[in-house]
Amino acid sequence: MRFVLDAGQRAFADSLDAMLTAAGTPSVVRDWSRGEHASGRTLWSRIADAGVFALTVPEEYGGLGAGPVELVVAFVELGRHAVPGPLVETVAAAALLTGLDDPGPAKRLLPVLASGASTATLAPGPYALDADMADVRLTTPPGTNDLYLAPPAGAAEVRRSLDPARRLFPLPPGGELLASGPQVAVAAGHALARGRLATAAQALGVGLALLDRTVRYVGQRSQFGVPVGSFQAVKHRLADAKIALEFARAVLFGAALTTTAADVAAAKVTACEAAYTTARAALQLHGAIGYTAEYDLSLWLTKARALRTAWGGPRECRALVLSGRDRRW
């Protein structure tokens, strides 16, 4: 029992953090929100070079064969830097392809997803993220056990998300049939759990970034002649955010180790609620400046709300927790 990240895992997080800090993600997010993908694609290839999309892909398909813990470490950093794009969707699509009995689609698509040459999206609900730029668009029409490679979505079909960087599309029907049968349902379940875990990690990263930025801000901003961060009401709100995030971190890494449906659902709801609590505190403590789109805080504020519903909202995740087994040890 050694429930802490090892030196290698911590170094991986630090190197991703350094790379993303240098990349200046806020301007990439703003480009992406306007449907301009060039800077995002450049960033995508750097993230791929760092091994993020290869992490959980089996070695035989050009992946690293690492575990969900490394994936979670990576997605916390992606969330901390508000990196846009179908990141979760790409690793979930890879999980889906890996989970099929028929190795054909995996052989064809996994190497390009792992290397970052292609991006993927899929729709856990009615919408698929960034379906106008993703090359691999997986869809399983409701009520079927069929897996299709859907045609590209037209840019005109974009639905606005509360998070301007999340560009949602209904996937067009039809396309190329990739696989069929019960294997698709099993693999889709695997993909759902993987996407949910990565989303939880991303949400924790979003919450951590919001807390960091707000702590810095209230230390500098003065009112009544003292930093607002010296007021107990302000301190207590941030202390509560810190407590929520640190306990969410424990649930998240626990879920990465067990990967049971109930633990992953618990991680999703806990991390997203903690991030959202932090977002509310961050907005309040920044005051009007935090309520503007031009100030960078908005990039995390809106994402905290959107991630709450993505890949299974709080109600659905709590129901899964309650259907889990009673004894946890």
Residues near another protein, by CB under 8 A: 1-6, 9, 69, 211, 215, 218-219, 226-227, 229-232, 234-236, 238-240, 242-243, 246-248, 250-251, 253-254, 257-258, 263, 266, 269-270, 314-315, 318-319, 321-322, 324, 326-329
In the complex, least distance from residue 316 CB atom to another protein, rounded to whole angstroms? 11
Closer residue to another protein (CB): 269 or 297: 269
Q: Contact, 68 vs 259, CB < 8 A? A: yes
In the complex, least distance from residue 279 CB atom to another protein, rounded to whole angstroms? 17
Q: Is 136 left (phi over 0), alpha (psi -120 to 50) or beta?
A: beta
Closer residue to another protein (CB): 168 or 244: 244
DSSP 202-257: HHHHHHHHHHHHHHHHHHH-EETTEEGGGSHHHHHHHHHHHHHHHHHHHHHHHHHH
Q: What is the C-alpha to C-alpha distance for residues 304 and 325, in angstroms, rounded to an integer?
A: 30
Burial of 220 (0-12, 13-18, 19+ CB in 10 A): exposed
In the complex, least distance from residue 147 CB atom to another protein, rounded to whole angstroms? 32
In the complex, least distance from residue 5 CB atom to another protein, rounded to whole angstroms? 6
In the complex, least distance from residue 251 CB atom to another protein, rounded to whole angstroms? 5
In the complex, least distance from residue 22 CB atom to another protein, rounded to whole angstroms? 24
Give the count of beta carbons closer than 10 Å to the beta carbon of residue 282. 28
Closer residue to another protein (CB): 136 or 197: 197
Q: What is the C-alpha to C-alpha distance for residues 253 and 311, in angstroms, rounded to an integer?
A: 18
Closer residue to another protein (CB): 119 or 278: 278
Closer residue to another protein (CB): 31 or 240: 240
Closer residue to another protein (CB): 22 or 226: 226
Q: Which residue blocks in 81-181 are alpha helix, DSSP H?
A: 87-99, 104-115
The encoded tokens of residue 326 equal: 């009673």
